[in-house]
Structure 1
Amino acid sequence: METRDGPTLHSDAGPGGAAASSGAPEGFAHLGRQPVLDRDGMLCGFELLFRGNVENHADIEDEDSATAQVIIRTIGEFGVRAALGGHKGYLNASRAMLLADAITLIPRDRFVFELPPDIEVDAALLGRLVQLHAKRYRFVLDEVVQPDATFAKLLPYVESVKIDVSRCSPELLPRLAKVLKSAGKILIAMKVETQDAFEEAKALGFDLFQGYFFARPQMLTARRASAPRQALLNLLQLLSSDPSVAQLEAELKLTPVLVMHLMRLANSGEESFGRKVTTLRDAIIATGTNRITRWTQMLLYADGRKVPIEDDPLLQLAATRARFMELAVARLPNANRQVIDAAFLTGVFSLVDAVFGDTLERTLEDLTLSRHIRAAILNREGTLGTLLSAVEALEHGDWTTLDRACEKLAPLTPSELAELALNAAAWATSADHSADSQGLERLED
C-alpha cells in the first residue's frame, strides 16, 4: 500500500474486521457515493458527493479555494479510488476546483467533472476548460432542467449532459434529448426512482441513469426471476438453527448450484492453501457456518444474468451497507460478535423487498428475523436503526441527517463514519474479498 498523508484504508482490524483508526483528520471531505447505471441496469460509475471540512486551512483566505483543495486531496487518496472499484467517478466540480493547479493530480482516466448549473462562466473558466480538455479531461453539464445562457455557453465543452428527468417538463424532455443526441452528447438521466421512469428514459435515448430504481420491488420480474431464492431461504433457515455438518450437506445437495458455489468458496479461502477441497463435507468444514451464512445472504441479491459482483448495483448497495454496519457497530462500547453479526444482517436485509417484490414488512416476517433487527429496518429503532439511517444519509449526501445520527452514536463522528463507508465501499467493489466473501468473484445460476 502506498504511503500518503490523510485518511486511509487501514489494514489493522478490530472487532468484526473494523479498521483501527482515530477518525479522519481535519481537512477531510466527507464522502457519499451514488450509483450510475448503464442501459442494461449495470453499474458503470459513481457520483461522489463531498462535504468539505476546511478548519485546518485558515492559511487560505478564499473558503471556496480551501474546500477545493481539501476535495482534490481527498480524491487522491487510495481509499477513494478503491471505493470506485473499476468504475468511473463523477465529481461535482466548483469553479475554484477547476481553476486550481492541483486539479491535474486527479487521474483523468478515472474521473469526470460535473459542471454545476449556477457556475460563473467567463473567459477565464472557458480557457481553463480548453486547457483541461486538451489534456483529455472530460466534463458533464449537470442538473439540466431548462436550457439557459449557462447551458449554451458550456455545451460545446462537455461530452455529457445530465438531465433531471423528475423536473424537466414532459413536453421539453423528448425534444431536448433528441437535439442533444443529434449533437453527439452522452445523455445521463438523474433522479430516476422507478422502473417506469427508467424505461421511459431509455426510450428517449438516454445512455446512463442515476437513481435508486434498481432497489425498488418492481424490479423483481425484470431482474431476478432466475435466482434460486427459495433454496437460499431454506438454507438460511437451517443455518439459523445451528445445524450439523450432515444436515447442511443434505440441504445443499437439494440444489446443485449451491454445491458448486460452496466448492468454489472453500477452494478460494486460506484454509484451502496447499490442498484442494474435493468433497461437499470437507467444503462445509473448511468454510464454516458463519462464512456460509454471509455468502448465502449475499447470494439472495445476485443478479440472474451471470455478471461480476462489482457490476451488480443492488448487490453492491446491500454489501456496502452490511459491511458499513458491522464496521461501525464494532467501534461502539460493548460490541460483541453477536451484535456485529446482527449489524451485518440488518444491512443485508434492509433492501430485501427489492429481491422478493413484496412489502418490506411481509418479507421480513417471512424471513423470521429477530424483533430488534426488524424494528431497525422498518422503523429505524435502536442503535442498528440509527446506523442504518447514517449509511442511507451517506448514500444520498444528506449531511444534516448524518449529523443527527451521530448525536446518538457517540463516540462515532461524521468523519469516522465517512471513512468507514469508504472502507465498506472498497470491500464491496473488490473481487478479492478476504475472509467472509471469497469465492463470490462471479455469481452464476
Structure 2
Amino acid sequence: MKYSYVARQPILDRDRKMLGYELLFRDGPKNTFPEIEPERATSILLSEQFFGLDYNTIGNKIGFVNFPYQSLINQIPTLFPKKKIVVEILEDCAPTEELLDAVKQLNVKGYKMALDDFVPSPEWIPFLPFIHLIKFDIRIVPIHKAVKFINRLKDTKIEFLAEKVETYEEFHQAREAGFHYFQGYFFSKPEILQQKAIDPSFLTVVQLCKAISKSEVDYDEVERIISVDVSLSYKLLRYVNSSSAISSKISSFHQALAYLGEERLKKFVSLVAIANVQENKPEFLYVLSILRAKFCELLLSKVQKSADKSQGFLTGMFSLLDSILDQPLDIIVESIPVDNVIKQALLHHKGILGDILSLYIAYEHADWDTVSKLSDKLGTSSEDLLDCYEQSTIWAEELCNN
C-alpha cells in the first residue's frame, strides 16, 4: 500500500484560537523535508491533499501552502479553492515584474497572498498593496526589528504572523508588538499525517498529456481516458466539487470537463503528471519522452499531411518506455494497444515512423550524416527539422513547467 505524507503546524490568533495549518511536504513518516525540487514538492502536496481522499488534513480550517516561483507564474494556486488556502510566496522568490504580474492576477481572483520568512527590502514595496499577510521568522528578524515595519504598515490591510515562537515570553512579546497570528514549537511541533495515496498510472497520464496537447482539446477523448482510471476520476471530481463557484455537485465527467474549461483542465493534468513522476527515475527521461513525442508528431504532419499525427506522438512518447519502466521494450509494446506500424517503428525503426524516430535520435546525438540521409529519404529540409525541434522544445518546457 502506498501512502502520502504531510506535516502540518497550527497557526493561531491572538487568543490562541486555531486559524489553520501550514502544510509541509514529507516523503515518509520521518518529520523531515526530503531532498526534492520545491516545484515537485508543492505539486505532490497539493495533488495528494486537495485531489486526494479528503480534506481531513485541514478540516474546515485554512491551509497555508508554499508556492515556488514558477508555480506562481503559472497560476497553479488557481487550481484550488480560494477560501481553503493562503498562497505563501517562498522567501527565495525573486521580486521580478513577472512575479508581480502573477501576484496581481491572483489578487484579482480573490486569493489571499502571504510573504513567507519576509526580510524587508525596497524591491518588495510594489507587492505590498496585493499582500494580505507577512510572516516574520523571529529568529531571522527579531521582534524588536519587526515591530518597526509593523508600525509603518499599521494603516494598511496587511496582517502579521510570527514564526518560530518557542516560549510564552516570545508569544507575549510578539502579541504586544502587534502580531496578529503565531506559529511555532511553543504551540505545537509539526505533526506528521499519513493517508493512502492514489496515483494514476504513467501511461494514463501520457495519454492525457497527448489529449490536452492538441490545438483543440478533444473533450470526448479526455473523458474516455479519465473515466477508466479510478484515481484520476476521483481526483477530478473532488477538485471540481471543491470549488465554491458551483451551485450543485457535479456527478459526471462530462459536467466536470465542461465546468473546468481548457486552461484549468491543462493545469490539472500537468500538475497530476508532475506529481506522479517516479522518484527513482531522472526527470529528464519524461521531458525527453514528450519532446520526442511532439517532434515526431510535427514532422509526420510535414512529410505526410494525410497521416494520423497522433501515431507520431505515440511513437516518440513510447520510445523511452523501456528506460522509464525498467522492462524490455518488446514486452511493453506487446502489452499496450497501439497500431502495428507504431510497434514496427519502436522495435525495428521500420516505416516512415521508424525513419522519423531514427532521425530524431540522430538529431539528439548530433549525428549529422544520419540526419542528412534520413532528411533526404523523408523529403524534408533542415529548416523543417529546426522548426519542429524548436516547437517541440517549447511545448515540452511549457507542459513540464505548468
Larger Rg: 2
Tell me if TM exceeds 0.5.
no
Higher relative contact order (CA 8 A, sep 6+): 1
TM-score, normalising length from structure 1?
A: 0.38
TM-score, normalising length from structure 2?
A: 0.42
